[in-house]
Amino acid sequence: QVQLQESGPGLVKPSETLSLTCAASTDSFNTYYWTWIRQPPGKALEWIGFVYKTGNANYNPSLQSRVAMSIDTSKNQFSLNLSSATSADTAVYYCARAHTIFGVVIYDHWGQGALVTVSS
C-alpha cells in the first residue's frame, strides 16, 4: 500500500525558508515524479513542481525564483524548500506521486497534507 507523509515545521517566520520533507512508502520509487502541491486557505490547489530520481526538477514559474526541491533515493524521501516566505505562502502543502498514463499526468497518491503558517 502506497503511503506518503509530509513533515516539517507548522510555523515559519516571514522572510525565512519553509522546509518540508515527504517520506514515501512505495515500490519502484525511482519510477515516479515526486510532486509538491499546495492549497492556500480558500484558494485553488497550486502545483509547485516536481523532482525526479536524477535530481532534475521542474518548478511553477510563479515560484521558480524561491523554490528548490531535492530527493534522497536511498531513503525514499524528497524535500521542498521555499525561501523568503511571506503570509501568501500560508497553505496546506501536499506531496504527491505523479506518473503518466497514455501521456496524461496523474497524481495517484497524495499525503494527507501539512498546514504551514507563515507568521511572526
Partner 1 sequence: DIQMTQSPSSLSASVGDIVTITCRASQSIATYLNWYQHRPGKGPNLLIYGASTLHRGVPSRFSGSGSGTEFTLTISSLQPEDFATYYCQQSYSTPVTFGLGTKVEIK
- Burial of residue 88 (CB within 10 Å: 0-12, 13-18, 19+) is exposed
Give the DSSP letter of residue 87: G
CA 57 centroid distance within chain: 11
**Contact status: 32 vs partner 1 (CB under 8 A):** no
**Contact status: 107 vs partner 1 (CB under 8 A):** yes
Residue appearing with cell numbers 500500500:
1
Q: C-alpha dihedral over 118, 58, 52, 29, to 10 degrees? A: 60
**Contact status: 113 vs partner 1 (CB under 8 A):** yes
Contact map string, positions 50 to 89, toward partner 1, x by CB under 8 A:
--------x-xxx---------------------------
Number of neighbouring beta carbons within 10 Å of residue 4 = 21
CB of 108 to partner 1, least distance (A): 5
**Contact status: 115 vs partner 1 (CB under 8 A):** no
CB of 18 to partner 1, least distance (A): 19
C-alpha cell at 63: 515560484
CB of 1 to partner 1, least distance (A): 12
Can you give the binding site for partner 1, defined by CB under 8 A?
4, 43-47, 58, 60-62, 94, 96, 101-113
